[in-house]
Amino acid sequence: MGGTVRGIGFIGGEGPGAKLSAALAGDVGLIAAADSGLVAAEAAGFRPDWIVGDMDSLDDLRRLDAYPPDRVIRHRRDKDDTDTELLLSLLWEQGCDEIWLVGGGGGRTDHLLAIQALFERDKSPDRWITAAEDIRQVREELTLTIAPKSLVSVFPLGTGPWEAESRGLRWPLAGLPWKRGFFGISNVAVEGSFSIRALRGRFLVIMPLKKD
């Protein structure tokens, strides 16, 4: 049986930079770029399998000439879906069952909230990496090692109900009254290693990006 097929989608906005983006890719099945995300993908040494979007923020449309026309999917600017939504749909259609978004930091607040809202959906990305944050969705269990005393913030996703437990955090998540509008912000990974287990519902975990 085949394993998980990971797709990485480069999007516009502040990302982790070329060197770290290249290191994060690892064993990836498919790479796609949305609009100006193509610039970041190429800077990291990637030639995306697919490019999608209205291309209104791409610095030079001549970049597209280097790719087969059937791998460049252009949309009108007055479309219903954002470029990131189009990117996600494309990666799912191509068989990816784990998706990481790279970029999307800084810039307009409505863009940040729009990406965050994508995680609220039943079918949603698994990870979002900006210039400064590593953002993970927890559907079952997440175990990580980050710098000791790093901040860890947790938000409920979806419709609930929610229940979680943790190890390695200064303030345990077990027993917290999770509901819409409730969150656990600025928790601390005391020794660096920590785990969060979703007993019911899904959660979004935000941490500083590990850059070494």
- Over 60: is that where the pLDDT of 203 sits? yes
The answer on 27 and 98 residing in a single domain is yes
Measured distance CA(163)–CA(169) in Å, rounded: 16
The answer on 117 and 33 residing in a single domain is yes
- pLDDT band at residue 20, thresholds of 50, 70 and 90? confident
**For strand 193-200 and strand 163-167, is the pairing parallel, antiparallel, or unpaired?**
antiparallel
- Over 80: is that where the pLDDT of 115 sits? yes
Supply the pLDDT for residue 113.
95
Cβ count near 69 (within 10 Å): 9
The answer on 96 and 46 residing in a single domain is yes
DSSP per residue, 108-124 = -HHHHHHHHHHTTSSS-
**Cα dihedral value 120, 122, 123, 126, nearest 10:** 50
pLDDT in tens, 75-105: 888 888 899 999 999 999 999 999 999 999 9
- Over 50: is that where the pLDDT of 2 sits? yes
The answer on 154 and 118 residing in a single domain is no
Supply the pLDDT for residue 212.
62
Q: Can you point out the beta strands (E) in the chain? A: 6-10, 30-34, 50-53, 72-74, 98-102, 127-129, 133-138, 141-145, 150-157, 163-167, 184-189, 193-200, 202-208
Name the domain count of the chain. Answer: 2
Cβ count near 204 (within 10 Å): 20
Supply the pLDDT for residue 1.
42
SS percent in the chain: helix, strand, coil, step 5: 20, 35, 45
Q: Provide the CB-side half-sphere exposure for 134 (13 A, CA).
A: 17
- Over 50: is that where the pLDDT of 29 sits? yes
Residue type, 157: L
pLDDT in tens, 158-192: 999 999 999 999 999 999 999 999 999 999 999 99
Residue (of 123, 121, 155) closest to 136 by Cα position: 155
This prediction has a pTM of: 0.93
Q: Are 4 and 28 within 8 A, CB to CB?
A: no
Average pLDDT value over all residues in the chain? 93
The answer on 121 and 144 residing in a single domain is no
**Domain containing residue 172:** 138-208
- Per cent of the chain over pLDDT 90 is 80
The answer on 197 and 110 residing in a single domain is no
Indicate which CATH number applies to the domain containing 80. 3.40.50.10240
